[in-house]
C-alpha cells in the first residue's frame, strides 16, 4: 500500500479508501445486497491487514448500521488513532425545517448520532453528503466549524456538489475564519468523467483532495461480460446511473478488458490505476476479500500515457445522474 496526505490536512491516508456502503443490515435501508456484520468483519479485517487505513461510511447507509458495524469491528483490531474515519450527514428534513431546527442544531444532532453509532469520540473527516438548498450556507459552515472547535471533527469534506458550490462555501469560510472543505467526494470513473469539466481543475488548483465514489461503476469496470454478483443484479440505484448509457460505455469497458489482458492484471487494477494517475484517492467497496487484493495491487499498477489516452479517447459527454441529478433546487 502507498500513502499520501489528504489535501490540505495532516491526515495520512492509504491511496485506497474502503467504502462501507456495502456493510449494514440489509433490512434497514436502500440496498438489499449489503453484508451482515460477520461478513463485513472479514472484509474490514482483511483490508486492515493489507494496509488500508481510510474508511468511508455515512449515517444514511442502512439506517446507521454501516457506521455501527464499522465502529465495532475496528475497535476489535486496531487503535483508533491508526485509522482515518469519514462519515457523512444529510440535509435538514422538511419536518426539521417546520419545527425551526437550525442547520447548526441539525449538524450537531446528526454528528452526535454518528459518533454514537461508531462508538467514537471524533471523526477525522465529516462530509456534507449533498447540498442543502433550504439551509443558509453560513449556518452549515459555522455549524461544522463549531463541531471542529468542540473536538468532534478534525476536518470537513463535501460530496455531490457543483464546483461553484464548493468554491462559494470555501470563500465564505475564508471570509469568516471557518474551516474549509479539504476534500470532494464526487461521482467519477472511466465511464463517468463529468467532474473533469470544472471540479477537478478547481480542486487541483486549491489542493483539495479528490476522493471519488463509484470508482468501479458498481462493478461495471471490474467484471468481464457474463460475470455477475448480487450487487450487479440487485443494485437498482446503480442501474439508474448506468443502464441508459450502457452501449455508449461498452467501448471503454472493452478497452479496460483489453489492457488488463495485455498486462496480465485485473480490470480493477486498470480502472483504479487510471483514477490514481489522475491524483485521486478512490473510494472502493468490497464484498469479498479477493476484491481487496485488486484494490491494493492497483496502487502499484502502471499505465503508460498511450494506454491512458486509449482508455479516455472514446468518452462522450454524459448527463448528470444519481444524487447530482435528483438534488436540484
pLDDT for the residue numbered 228? 66
Q: Catalytic residue among 61, 128, 155, 242, which?
A: 61
Query: Which pLDDT value is given to residue 303?
Result: 98
Written as one string, the DSSP assignment of 184-223 is EE-B-BTTB-GGGTTHHHHHHHHT-EE--BSTTGGGTTTS
Give the pLDDT of residue 33.
85
Q: How far apart are CA 294 and CA 272, in angstroms?
A: 9
Q: What percentage of the chain exceeds 90 in pLDDT? A: 92
pLDDT tops 80 at residue 258: yes
**Pairing of β 54-56 and β 181-185:** unpaired
* Per-residue model confidence as pLDDT tens digits over 201-216: 999 999 999 999 999 9
Average pLDDT, stretch 116-122? 98
pLDDT tens, 6-33? 999 999 999 999 999 999 999 998 888 8
pTM exceeding 0.75: yes
Mean pLDDT of the residues in the chain? 95
Catalytic residue list contains 237: no
Going from the C-alpha of 86 to that of each of 70, 111, 273, 288, 303, the distances in angstroms are 11, 11, 23, 22, 29
Read off the pLDDT of residues 63-101 as tens digits, 9 standing for 90 and up: 999 999 999 999 999 999 999 999 999 999 999 999 999
User: Given this model, what pLDDT does residue 176 score?
Assistant: 98
Confidence of residue 265 (pLDDT cuts 50, 70, 90): very high
Tell me: pLDDT of 252 over 80: yes
275 vs 186: CA distance, rounded Å:
12
Where do the H-state alpha helices sit in the chain? 37-49, 65-77, 94-98, 103-118, 137-149, 163-176, 199-206, 230-234, 236-242, 246-263, 267-277, 289-298, 305-312, 323-326
pLDDT at 298: 98
Contacts with 106 (C-beta within 8 Å, 6 or more apart), sequence order: 89, 92, 96, 135, 143
pLDDT band at 231 (very low <50, low <70, confident <90, very high): low
Amino acid at each position: 500500500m502507498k500513502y499520501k496526505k489528504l489535501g490540505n490536512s495532516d491526515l495520512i491516508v492509504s491511496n485506497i479508501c474502503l467504502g462501507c456502503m456495502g456493510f449494514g443490515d440489509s433490512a434497514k435501508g436502500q440496498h438489499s445486497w449489503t453484508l451482515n456484520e460477520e461478513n463485513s468483519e472479514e472484509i474490514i479485517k482483511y483490508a486492515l491487514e493489507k494496509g488500508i487505513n481510510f474508511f468511508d461510511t455515512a449515517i444514511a447507509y442502512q439506517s446507521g448500521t454501516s457506521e455501527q458495524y464499522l465502529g465495532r469491528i475496528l475497535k476489535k483490531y486496531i487503535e483508533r488513532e491508526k485509522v482515518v474515519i469519514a462519515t457523512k450527514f444529510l440535509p435538514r428534513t422538511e419536518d426539521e425545517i417546520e419545527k425551526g431546527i437550525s442547520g447548526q442544531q441539525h449538524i450537531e444532532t446528526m454528528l452526535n448520532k454518528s459518533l454514537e453509532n461508531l462508538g467514537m469520540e471524533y471523526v477525522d473527516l465529516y462530509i456534507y453528503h449533498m447540498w442543502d438548498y433550504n439551509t443558509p450556507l453560513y449556518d452549515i459552515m459555522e455549524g461544522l466549524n463549531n463541531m471542529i472547535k468542540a473536538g468532534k471533527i478534525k476536518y470537513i469534506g463535501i460530496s455531490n456538489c457543483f464546483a461553484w458550490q464548493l468554491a462559494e462555501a470555501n470563500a465564505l469560510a475564508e471570509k469568516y475564519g471557518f474551516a474549509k472543505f479539504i476534500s470532494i467526494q464526487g461521482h467519477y470513473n472511466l465511464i463517468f468523467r463529468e467532474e473533469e469539466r470544472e471540479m477537478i481543475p478547481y480542486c487541483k488548483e486549491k489542493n483539495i483532495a479528490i476522493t471519488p465514489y463509484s470508482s468501479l461503476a458498481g462493478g461495471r469496470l471490474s467484471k468481464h461480460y457474463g460475470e455477475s454478483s448480487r450487487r450487479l443484479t440487485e443494485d437498482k440505484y446503480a442501474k439508474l446511473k448506468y443502464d441508459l448509457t450502457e452501449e455508449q460505455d461498452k467501448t471503454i469497458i472493452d478497452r479496460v478488458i483489453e489492457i488488463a489482458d495485455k498486462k496480465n492484471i485485473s480490470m480493477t487494477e486498470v480502472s483504479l490505476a487510471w483514477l490514481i494517475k489522475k491524483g485521486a484517492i478512490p473510494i472502493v467497496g468490497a464484498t469479498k476479500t479477493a476484491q481487496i487484493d485488486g484494490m491494493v495491487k492497483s496502487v502499484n499498477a502502471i499505465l503508460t500515457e498511450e494506454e491512458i489516452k486509449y482508455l479516455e479517447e472514446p468518452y462522450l459527454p454524459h448527463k448528470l445522474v444519481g444524487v447530482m441529478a435528483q438534488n436540484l433546487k
